[in-house]
Amino acid sequence: MQSNKPYRAHLNSSNDLVTTHEEIRAGFVALALERNREATPFIAEARALKALASRVSTPAQLLTIQEIRLPLLTAARVSDKAKSHMEQTNQDEAINGLIRNFLEPAGSDFIEELVYRFLLTRGDALGGSMRNIGGELAKRKFAGSILAALSIVGISYKWLHSNDNVWLSETRPQTDIEQDFKGLNWVTAMGHHRTMIFNLNVPLVANNEDVCLFKCSSEEYNTNTRRNPSLFMALGEIKGGIDPAGADEHWKTARTALTRVRSSFSGHDLSPKTFFIGAAIAERMANEIWEQLEAGTLNNAANLTDGVQVASLCNWLITL
């Protein structure tokens, strides 16, 4: 492998980047399974609502069950965000409207109607949260590969908790960490401190970047680190959408972002590494990525559905 062409460790031509039909099908199945997993708590809530509502014999009596006041608002199509801004009189009006217009006309089936309307609103909320599920799954897969790359060569690491914003040692299973962390820190075999942060706003670029690699320790990393262009070692775009129909659009978005990165840093006489990882890569798109790799415009790339390619790219990252 040529040192200035790290992608050659796992790519021989643009054809290697193209997502196969088998991987596209597998990707759709993975998304479906994740949607089912995310929907499970909503189904459990609906069952609990039905059990409580079954205590009464008429829709009006539902108002006497204080425990289901919030679910009644949900069934009345009031979002969680809207609930916090509504006065109690407005909430009462919404619930009474639900009972008068929908539950009472349903007759003896009012409980089924209530549960149906509850799930309808919950489904809308789930749909909104699932729009970027491909991106979340992509982040987890990439994060898992980075953790594996560090583990296999015996490099210990710290991880930045996404909620608490504190650095923790590697005391939890990797599959558990992947869902809760937004950053990693390690020391290379050469003794250099490296910190990787996910989904970070970079002021110089005026945009969010999926992955940023810094040359600093976890103690040195703070909110001002992203404002220091000289600390950036690599920036990458990860696109997890598996639908071939949106592949070109994902690449155009990533290409524009990476072009902006290179342009912004060149103004400071800096050239951090750039890389791209995509789940759905079509032939024309693969050709363009390969051209950028060969020209040195892009430093590395991999197909997210190919574990070997992603592992190779991660091995490259942890040695920078």
Phi, psi of 157, rounded to the nearest 5 degrees: -150, 165
From 23-37, 85-99, 260-274, 292-306, the region with the lowest mean pLDDT: 23-37
Q: Do domains 6-34+132-317 and 54-130 have the same CATH topology?
A: no
**DSSP string for 35-83:** HHHHHHHHHHHHHHHHHHHTT-SSGGGGGG-GGGHHHHHHHTT--HHHH
Q: Is pLDDT of 1 > 50?
A: no
**DSSP string for 188-218:** -TTS-EEEEEEEEEETTTTEEEEEEEESS-T
From 135-139, 142-146, 148-152, 247-251, the region with the lowest mean pLDDT: 135-139
Q: Rounded to an integer, what distance in angstroms lies between the CA atom of residue 149 and that of residue 147?
A: 5
The single-letter DSSP state of residue 6 is G
pTM of the predicted protein model: 0.74
Share of the chain above pLDDT 90, in %: 57
Structure tokens at 253: 């978005």
Q: Taking the domains of the chain in order of start, what are their residue ranges?
A: 6-34+132-317, 54-130
Q: Tens digits of per-residue pLDDT, 195-241?
A: 999 999 999 998 899 999 999 998 999 888 999 999 999 999 999 88
Instruction: Residue 263: name the closest of 300, 301, 297, 296 by CA.
Output: 297
- Fold observed for domain 6-34+132-317: Restriction Endonuclease (3.40.91)
Burial-class residue 134 by CB neighbours within 10 Å (0-12, 13-18, 19+).
Answer: buried
In this prediction, residue 125 carries a pLDDT of: 64
Q: Using an 8 Å Cβ cutoff, are 190 and 154 in contact?
A: no
In this prediction, residue 256 carries a pLDDT of: 93
- Fold observed for domain 54-130: Recoverin; domain 1 (1.10.238)
Q: Is pLDDT of 99 > 80?
A: yes
Q: Tens digits of per-residue pLDDT, 226-238?
A: 999 999 999 999 9
